[in-house]
């Protein structure tokens, strides 16, 4: 990058917040996909006005801007595939306001999701979206991807809690969207458009977040199944019983084995599947609901149903669930991770299809995820250096997406499109959907400087 540009950026953000060494740039060149793209420069702004000034320079010079939170994304959204400025938002991490009376928080995008949740829970309030990466990912990154998590089955996803945003647009001007009230319908819903736009329309610098009362009690159960079909059928039966769990998570045998090798959590290796089920609400109803769920699982073939007796046991079960993703790294060097979602009652169908695809392409596929909302994380474990296997994996991905769409599902429930799925989105959106998406992008960003190459691989 030219010296005068580096100087301009340093003048705005301060020398210590502008990184140009190879080592530093490499640190911001990848996300959880393991793919890479090295930025020309890394800038870590502290305030929204600086973001605006940086974007104005990028716009004038035609330099790509790549907004970045913690870089835990599973779609390559924060990878600077065309170089440019990696705009790292992690230093803008303050809780600006916590308005208990109106149950609204105002927060900067770099705040770690877990830290935000802890702060609001101290006031008896609740921010439900809980991606398994919550101890590292940022709330701005969550808005960028519209992150979900285990609690989505009952409480919805990030977009359901974002009331309004401050966004620096690709020309550098500041847009305020939405409201700081419980509701509001003035104009188009630009907040919803921004949430999940993966940094392609602007840089989020502040979020108005809706909070709800913290549930009084939680009960968690682990159900162990010898047969995977029994686990899939239990999911449908639990939902059909009119109990809405706050989480209903699924792990297949390969996922269980991985976790056991990784953290020795005491999960039964001989089980074909386990379900981790949680209910929340008032003390009496959670006791009744978890007992009923236990009965349903037992009648559907669960060999064992363990109910966590206290918070320590509950946290232990969740640690096992959250360990799946990192544990997979020990199985094979390359993980192709998809997060397809089907209507809940089609979970048994997609599980069967995934088994057939795994056999047909001779691939090791590990499945786990948020089965209660039909969101299955499908992990093809392979090795990038094995070209022949990678080709089979690529064909398998195409077939997995085809099966998902045939079952009236979606190719991404929460991870987003980034660079990993852009070639498939036409199959879901159709010609008109793609054309409208391109037009929207052109309205916001005609020079294509804001995270270019993401979602749409070309404009």
Ligand X SMILES: Cc1cc2nc3c(=O)[nH]c(=O)nc-3n(C[C@H](O)[C@H](O)[C@H](O)COP(=O)(O)OP(=O)(O)OC[C@H]3O[C@@H](n4cnc5c(N)ncnc54)[C@H](O)[C@@H]3O)c2cc1C
Where along the sequence are the contacts to ligand X (CB under 6 A)? 31-32, 66-74, 77-78, 89, 109, 131-133, 137-138, 140-142, 144-145, 147-149, 198-199, 203-204, 325-326, 414-415, 451, 454
Question: Do 141 and 129 contact (CB within 8 A), yes or no?
Answer: no
Q: Which is nearer to ligand X, 71 or 348 (CB)?
A: 71
The CB-of-300 to ligand X minimum distance in angstroms stands at 25
The continuous run of DSSP H or E covering 318 comes out as: helix 311-322
The CB-of-429 to ligand X minimum distance in angstroms stands at 18
- Measure CA of the first residue to CA of the last residue in the chain; give whole Å: 25
- Residues paired with 85 in a beta bridge: 41, 65
Q: Which is nearer to ligand X, 71 or 294 (CB)?
A: 71
Give the rounded distance of the alpha carbon of 144 from its chain centre: 9
Q: Which is nearer to ligand X, 145 or 177 (CB)?
A: 145
The CB-of-210 to ligand X minimum distance in angstroms stands at 18
Tokens 């809690």 sit at which residue?
A: 161
The CB-of-400 to ligand X minimum distance in angstroms stands at 18
The CB-of-279 to ligand X minimum distance in angstroms stands at 19
Residue 169: partners with Cβ closer than 8 Å, 6 or more residues away: 55, 175, 201, 202, 444, 445
The CB-of-240 to ligand X minimum distance in angstroms stands at 25
Nearest CA to 47 out of 6, 86, 14 is that of 14
Q: Which is nearer to ligand X, 119 or 229 (CB)?
A: 119
Q: Which is nearer to ligand X, 161 or 361 (CB)?
A: 161
The CB-of-236 to ligand X minimum distance in angstroms stands at 22
Tokens of residue 161, six digits: 């809690």
Q: Give the whole-angstrom CA distance, residue 107 versus residue 96.
A: 5
Q: Which is nearer to ligand X, 115 or 298 (CB)?
A: 115
Q: Which is nearer to ligand X, 204 or 371 (CB)?
A: 204
Other Cβ atoms closer than 10 A to 269: 10
Pairing verdict, β 41-43 and 65-68: unpaired
Give the rounded distance of the alpha carbon of 92 from its chain centre: 20
Residue 111: partners with Cβ closer than 8 Å, 6 or more residues away: 93, 94, 95, 138, 139, 140
């Amino acid at each position: 990058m030219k010296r005068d540009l580096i100087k301009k950026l340093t003048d705005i953000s301060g020398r210590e917040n502008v990184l140009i060494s190879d080592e530093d740039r490499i640190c911001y060149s990848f996300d959880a996909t393991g793919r890479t793209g090295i930025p020309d420069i890394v800038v870590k702004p502290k305030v929204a006005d600086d973001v605006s000034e940086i974007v104005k320079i990028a716009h004038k010079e035609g330099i790509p801007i790549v907004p970045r939170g913690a870089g835990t994304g599973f779609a390559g959204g924060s990878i600077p595939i065309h170089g440019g400025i990696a705009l790292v938002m992690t230093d803008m991490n303050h809780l600006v306001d916590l308005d208990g009376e109106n149950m609204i928080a105002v927060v900067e995008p770099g705040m770690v999701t877990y830290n935000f949740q802890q702060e609001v829970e101290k006031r008896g309030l609740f921010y439900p979206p809980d991606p398994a990466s919550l101890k590292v990912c940022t709330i701005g990154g969550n808005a960028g991807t519209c992150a979900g998590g285990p609690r989505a089955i009952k409480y919805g996803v990030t977009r359901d809690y974002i009331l309004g945003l401050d966004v620096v647009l690709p020309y550098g001007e500041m847009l305020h969207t939405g409201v700081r009230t419980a509701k509001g319908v003035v104009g188009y819903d630009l907040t919803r458009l921004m949430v999940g736009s993966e940094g392609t329309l602007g840089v989020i610098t502040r979020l108005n977040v809706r909070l709800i009362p913290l549930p009084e009690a939680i009960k968690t159960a682990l159900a162990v199944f010898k047969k995977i079909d029994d686990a899939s059928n239990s999911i449908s039966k639990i939902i059909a019983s009119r109990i809405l769990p706050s989480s209903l998570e699924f792990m297949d045998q390969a996922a269980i084995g991985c976790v056991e090798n990784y953290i020795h959590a005491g999960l039964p290796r001989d089980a074909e599947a386990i379900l981790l089920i949680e209910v929340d609400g008032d003390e009496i109803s959670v006791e009744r609901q978890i007992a009923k769920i236990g009965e349903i699982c037992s009648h559907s073939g669960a060999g064992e149903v363990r109910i966590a007796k206290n918070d320590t046991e509950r946290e232990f079960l969740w640690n096992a669930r959250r360990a799946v993703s990192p544990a997979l790294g020990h199985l094979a060097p390359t993980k192709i991770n998809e997060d397809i979602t089907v209507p809940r009652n089609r979970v048994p169908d997609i599980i069967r299809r995934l088994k057939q695809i795994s056999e047909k392409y001779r691939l090791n596929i590990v499945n786990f995820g948020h089965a209660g909302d039909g969101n299955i994380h499908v992990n093809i474990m392979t090795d990038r250096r094995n070209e022949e296997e990678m080709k089979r994996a690529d064909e398998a991905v195409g077939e997995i997406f085809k099966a998902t769409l045939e079952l009236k599902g979606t190719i991404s429930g929460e991870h987003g499109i980034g660079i990993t799925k852009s070639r498939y989105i036409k199959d879901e959106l159709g010609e008109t959907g793609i054309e409208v998406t391109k037009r929207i992008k052109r309205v916001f960003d005609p020079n294509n400087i804001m995270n270019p190459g993401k979602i749409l691989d070309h404009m």
